[in-house]
Amino acid sequence: MKNPLLWLELRIRIRERKLWVISFLYLVCLLGMSFVPLVSTMDRPYSSPTQPADVGIAIFATSIFTLMALLLIISPLSSAAAISQEREQRTLPGLLNTPLSAAQIAFGKLLATWVFILWLIALSCPFLFLGMIWCGISWWEVLSAVGIIFAAGMVTSTIALGLSGYFKRTLTSYLGTGTIFFLWFIVWPIIGALMSSLQPRGDKAAQARFVDFQFYTFWAHHPVAPLMLAFQKELFEGEALPFKATTAVLFAFIIWLVLGLIFFVVACRGIRRALTDK
C-alpha cells in the first residue's frame, strides 16, 4: 500500500466521470436481476406457499452469478489499457525514470484495478445480504462467494494487464483481451463438451477417468465453475456431483495463480521494453 502509483491511479479514477457512470449502471443491473427471483417466487393461486428460505437462496444465487458476469466484463476492461495507454501518451518512460521498478509500476496499476473491483463488490453487498435476511444463506456462504468472485476478478484483470504490456496499442490490447477471454470462457468449454463423443463405452473405470480429464481440462478452471461447485447443494438441490468440490476449487485457484504470475511477468517485460522502443 506504500506504492505511490496506487494513490495516483486512484485519484485519477475517482475524478473520472466514467467511474460513477459504471457504478450506477452496475447497481441498476444488480437491482433489475434481483427482482427476477422475487417475481418468480411469488405465491400463485392453487400453489403451495413459497418458503422464505427459498426466496433467499434464489436472490443470493441470482446476485452472485450476476455479480460474477458483470465483473468478468468490467475487470479486464479496467486494466486492458493500463500500460498501453501510458505508452501511447509517452508517459511510460517517465515512470521508468522514477525510483519505481517495472514490477512496482505494474503492481501499482494492478492494485488500483483490484481496489476498483472491491468497490464494485462493496456496492453488491446489500444484494448478497438479502439472502441472509430471508434465512436461506449464512454469513460464511456470503463471504465464500465474495472471495471466489474477487479472486476471479483479480486473475482476469491481471491477464488483461499482461496483454496491455505486451501490445503497443490500446485498441490491440482490448481486442487481444476480448479474444483471450472469449476463447477461455466460451470456446474452450464448448470443445470440452464436444469431446463427450470420445468417451469410452463399457469400461466404467475408463469412463470415470475420461470424465475427470474432461472436467479438469476444460471446465474446472473456468471462473464460474468454482462458484457453482461451492454452492452445488443450493443450486442442484443436494444432487451429488461426480467431482469433489474442495479439490476442484483448489485446482481452479492454483491455475488462476499460475496464470496471474505469468501475465504479471509479461506486463513487467512490456514496461521494461518501453526503454528500447523507438
Residue 227 placed within a domain: yes
pLDDT at 202 over 80: no
Query: Which of 63, 72, 33, 30 lies closest to 186 in space, CA to CA?
Result: 72
In a domain, 204, yes or no: yes
* pLDDT value for 46: 43
Q: What is the pLDDT of residue 48?
A: 47
Q: Is residue 79 part of a domain?
A: yes
Span 53-68, mean pLDDT?
A: 77
**260 lies in a domain?**
yes
Please state, in angstroms and rounded to a whole number, the distance separating the CA atoms of residues 86 and 72.
Answer: 24
> Could you identify the residue written with the cell 455479480?
67
pLDDT digits over 154-201, tens only? 999 999 999 998 988 888 999 999 999 999 999 999 998 888 877 777
Neighbour-count burial for 181-203, b at 16+ CB within 10 Å, e otherwise: beebeeeeeeebeeeeeeeeeee
Residue 17 has pLDDT above 80, yes or no: no
Specify if 180 maps to a domain: yes
Mean pLDDT of 122-133: 78
Integer Rg of the chain from CA: 21
Rounded CA gap, 58 and 33, in Å? 11
* Cα separation, 153 vs 139, whole angstroms: 21
Please indicate, yes or no, if residue 144 is contained in any of the structural domains: yes
In a domain, 278, yes or no: no
Burial of 85 (0-12, 13-18, 19+ CB in 10 A): middle
In tens, the pLDDT along 215-240 reads 889 988 998 888 888 776 655 554 55
User: Would the pLDDT of 93 be above 90?
Assistant: no
Rounded CA-CA distance 150/152 in Å is: 5
Q: Domain span at residue 56? A: 4-273
Whole-number Å distance between alpha carbons of 153 and 68: 8
DSSP secondary structure code for residue 42 in this structure: S
Let me know if residue 88 belongs to a domain.
Answer: yes
Name the residue type at position 155: V
Question: pLDDT class for 49, splitting at 50, 70, 90?
Answer: very low
Q: What domain count does the chain have?
A: 1
The mean pLDDT of 107-130, rounded to a whole number, is: 85
Taking phi over 0 as left and psi of -120 to 50 as alpha, with beta for the rest, 167 belongs to beta
Could you tell me how far CA 220 lies from the centroid of its own chain? Answer: 14
Answer whether residue 136 shows pLDDT above 70: no
Any idea what the Cα angle at residue 225 is, between residues 219 and 228, rounded to 5°? 140
Q: Indicate if the alpha-carbon torsion angle 220, 223, 226, 227 is positive or negative.
A: negative
Angstrom distance (rounded) from CA 141 to CA 147: 10
How far from each other are the two terminal CA atoms of the chain, in whole angstroms? Answer: 33
Type of residue at 222: H
